[in-house]
Amino acid sequence: MWGGRFERGPAAIMEEINVSVEFDRRLAEQDLAGSRAHAAMLARQGIISPEDGEAIVTGLDQIAAEIREGRFAFSRALEDIHLNIESRLAQIIGAAAGRLHTARSRNDQVATDFRLWVRQACARAEAGLAALQRALLGQAEAHADTIMPGFTHLQPAQPVTFGHHCLAYVEMFARDKDRFAAAAARMNESPLGAAALAGTPFPIDREQTAKALGFDRPMRNSLDAVASRDFALDYLAAASIAAVHLSRLAEEIVIWATPSFGFVKLSDAFSTGSSIMPQKKNPDAAELVRAKIGRILGSFVALTTVMKGLALAYAKDLQEDKEAVFNGADALDLSLAAMAGMMDDLTAVPAKMRAAAEAGFPTATDLADWCVRELQTPFREAHHIAGAIVKRAEELGVTLDQVPLGEMQKIEPRINKAVYAVLPLEASVNARVSFGGTAPVRVREQIAYWREKLS
């Protein structure tokens, strides 16, 4: 397939390092689409005859059916998916197949195929994130009033609702969707027609092929078209950030599912047991999501490392771009599906959440705020008063709302019985009515907002 320059085939080790069809066969659908668009354009421009153009498209359709049905014979000797398809096309339609590569190089061909594939990966990620958001919204809706401890430093901080907690991830995953959408928009330019690196003397119509493949426009510089892989890095960067969010949620599920917390239960569908300990029920799906994030981050680092030292235009190093992206995309797609399944499957345990929220004096800030409002105390002084009352409650072994008024007045004589109205958990949660706050009324407003947005 290389032509007359070479007298002998490659050494065995050269074939081993050079062959890519084992992994780039995943580009078959995109390669066929690009070839159909290119053939139609060549015929329309009079560069090949209409008869040859029709024969090429018919042959490509047959190859598509063979691949779809598992009847296509992939050959390592033909290196990659592109030459495998071209060789099979020659078997089907004869010499006319040789005209398909007119005004085209494997360089712009693979760049086009890969952009098409990554664009679809962005769309899959957006759909997966939306499914996960809907699962989180379902939990938020069911638990807009369910009180749990909010944490800082993994220590009880202030009471929040489980619904509010779930909505935090809805927000994160919305930004992730935006990143994938922006990446897809940036990459939506066609490299096809850039040829090897300098363009082509044939009178091609790059606008036509770009439109046929769903691109917004052709790329403006032929060197950039064949040499750039920032579109793949863009995808992996968005995937890496989404992966971090997935890992954080997975970590919380692992913690929440431990008997020490007991905030949630996972069914048998998303748990496994132990080979030796009969009592074990492990949240392995969450643990595996947490671990698979390393594959995604690793893919971004791997491709960045490939790209960092490449002079323009094409170099064979770029063959290493696909496995990194394929591996990262596989891990992301699976992790999104698993996380959405877990959030749908998860059962919250409100009693455990509330019991944990009652520990650690989480309404101490409400006590300080009351001193600011009712006693006109500067906040720093109010903070000191509340801290001293917390210390006394700890000595007495009671919660803040159980500290006798006399004990509070020993610390601040102006405190009166009205303070008890702000110390229960419900009072604390209901008071957080600022926009974006945890008050159930605000949580339900945000649920309604996201229901409409996701519909």
- Beta bridge partners of residue 141, listed in sequence order: none
Q: Residue 134 belongs to what H/E stretch?
A: helix 106-142
Task: Report the SS3 class of residue 264.
Answer: strand
Q: Are strands 147-152 and 217-218 parallel, antiparallel or unpaired?
A: unpaired
Strand blocks (E) in 248-366: 264-265, 347-348
- Does 274 participate in catalysis according to the annotation? yes
Given 35, 153, 165, 383, the catalytic residue: 153
- Does 153 participate in catalysis according to the annotation? yes
Closest by alpha carbon to 386, among 347, 412, 424? 412
**Residue 307 carries which DSSP code?**
H
Length, in residues, of the chain: 455
For 314, residues 6+ apart whose C-beta sits below 8 A from its C-beta are 107, 196, 197, 226, 227
Strand blocks (E) in 51-192: 147-152, 155-161, 189-190
Given 49, 75, 267, 274, the catalytic residue: 274
Query: Do 238 and 124 form a contact (C-beta atoms < 8 A)?
Result: no
Strand blocks (E) in 182-285: 189-190, 217-218, 264-265
d(CA 20, CA 78): 9
Q: Residue 63 belongs to what H/E stretch?
A: helix 50-68
Closest by alpha carbon to 264, among 246, 249, 279? 249
Name the H helices within 308-439.
321-345, 350-358, 364-375, 379-396, 405-411, 425-431
d(CA 105, CA 111): 10
Q: What are 64's two structure tokens?
A: 């598509």
> How far is CA 343 from each of CA 140, 264, 286, 362, 380, rounded to the nearest angstrom?
11, 10, 10, 27, 41
Active-site residue numbers? 153, 274
